[in-house]
Amino acid sequence: MYLDFGAMKPPEIYLTLTQTVIPRPVAWVLSENLDGGSNLAPFSFFNALCSNPPLIMISVGRRQDGSLKDTQANIEARREFVVHIGHWEQLDSLNESSATLPSGESETQRLGLETVCFEQFRLPRLVDARVAFACSRYQIQEIGNSGNTLILGRVHGVYLADGVVGKDNRDRPKICADKINPIGRLGASEFVRFGEIHTRHRPD
């Protein structure tokens, strides 16, 4: 089967892309509302881009009425945000946080998610986070024809839970992917949990 994107409508292309570019990491983004409360929303158009400077990206769509989502509006207005890598035990809360709420309503309060001070950063992080990146707005760019926005965030530091840091076979610190147990996004309403790890060393 060959699918010609030139003959397909954008929603059909979206469904095809999200069911074939798999699994995708999920950025669980905390930003600051106008009243100082926390907005929390997941985005699976997300990845790391660069290490010098350290940059990550998320792609944010619009609300059905064409208005900005709170995440984008908050980052545009107040710059800082926190990107969590959600773990499997957080799946239900992460999924619930994708619900469309009235602008300014806090998902952390609605879902009873506790936050804690993020060392050397103005915004808090989720208390049970295993990985959290302290970010500030680096660049925002409108992309495509559907109102999507590419948000580049500069990473100032990362929180790692003690339990996800181990040692490699040379006794050097190693971040253990299986201990993070990250949520992977598939298409439609599907997610995937972490599986077996296989090592292949890159050839010289």
Which DSSP category does 182 fall into? B
- Residue 179 within a domain: yes
Characterize the bridge pairing of strands 24-25 and 131-143.
unpaired
CATH of the domain at 99: 2.30.110.10
pLDDT digits (tens, 9 = 90+) for 91-149: 999 999 999 988 888 999 999 999 999 999 999 999 999 999 999 999 999 998 888 99
- Phi, psi angles (nearest 5°) of residue 6: -65, -20
Residue type, 180: I
Which residues span the domain enclosing 60? 5-186
Confidence of residue 56 (pLDDT cuts 50, 70, 90): very high
- Residue 149 within a domain: yes
The whole-number pLDDT of residue 66 equals 83
- Residue 200 within a domain: no
Calculate the average pLDDT of the chain. 95
- Phi, psi angles (nearest 5°) of residue 2: -120, 125
- Residue 101 within a domain: yes
- Residue 196 within a domain: no
Q: Residues 166, 93, 24, 3: what is their CA dihedral angle, to the nearest 10 degrees? A: 160
The whole-number pLDDT of residue 159 equals 97
Residue of higher predicted confidence among 168 and 39: 39
Total domains present in the chain: 1
- Residue 168 within a domain: yes
pLDDT digits (tens, 9 = 90+) for 63-76: 888 889 999 999 99
